[in-house]
Amino acid sequence: MERTFAIIKPDAFAAGSAGKIIARIYEEGFKIVGLKKLYMSKVEAEGFYYVHKERPFFGELTDFMSSGPCVVMALEADNAIAKWRDLMGATNPAEAAEGTLRREFGSSIGENATHGSDAPETAAFELSYFFNGLELL
Ligand code: CMP
């Protein structure tokens, strides 16, 4: 079993799609071991995405992620990291495969409905950024 970190981003939350996305998560066989709704501050978004701080889209990304409530989750499954990335689809919804979450719920490369960790080290950092051990049961 592996854990990954996932976000239902502000665009999908504002559109009322959180319930549908959570239903897909269960249908695909993930166990949700942590879940909370939160409203990230700009500083919290900058800390979360610090690996992207030199990228030209960093300001736009952190403005968007702090623009409204989102849902953060810890997901557990065999190969959870790759499995969740497969379910999300490509970063750009226009390039995401039919049936993926970003294809269905995303609207642009920035407003792409969901986030997921890309590697075990990233998952460890991202999970610990929003959850403490007692919250992951
Ligand atoms: P995410 O998986 O949350 O990780 C970093 C995010 O940066 C990514 O999803 C995209 O939403 C965002 N991103 C990547 N490239 C661009 C871009 N060119 N313009 C705006 N946002 C981007």
ipTM of the complex: 0.93
CA triple 61-88-27, angle to 5 deg: 135
Tens digit of each residue's pLDDT, the chain (137 residues)? 999 999 999 999 999 999 999 999 999 999 999 999 999 999 999 999 999 999 999 999 999 999 999 999 999 999 999 999 999 999 999 999 999 999 999 999 999 999 999 999 999 999 999 999 999 98
Tokens linked to 9: 């981003």
The C-alpha atoms of residue 112 and residue 96 are separated, in whole angstroms, by: 10
Number of domains in the chain: 1
Q: What CATH number corresponds to the domain at position 20?
A: 3.30.70.141
Residues 68, 61 contacting (CB under 8 angstroms) = no
Report how far ligand 1's centroid is from the alpha carbon of 134 (Å): 30
- Which domain, by its residues, includes 41? 2-135
**Count of other CB atoms within 10 angstroms of residue 84:** 25
**Count of other CB atoms within 10 angstroms of residue 68:** 13
Q: Is 130 annotated as belonging to a binding site?
A: no
CB under 6 Å to ligand 1: residues? 52, 57, 60-61, 91, 109-110, 112, 115
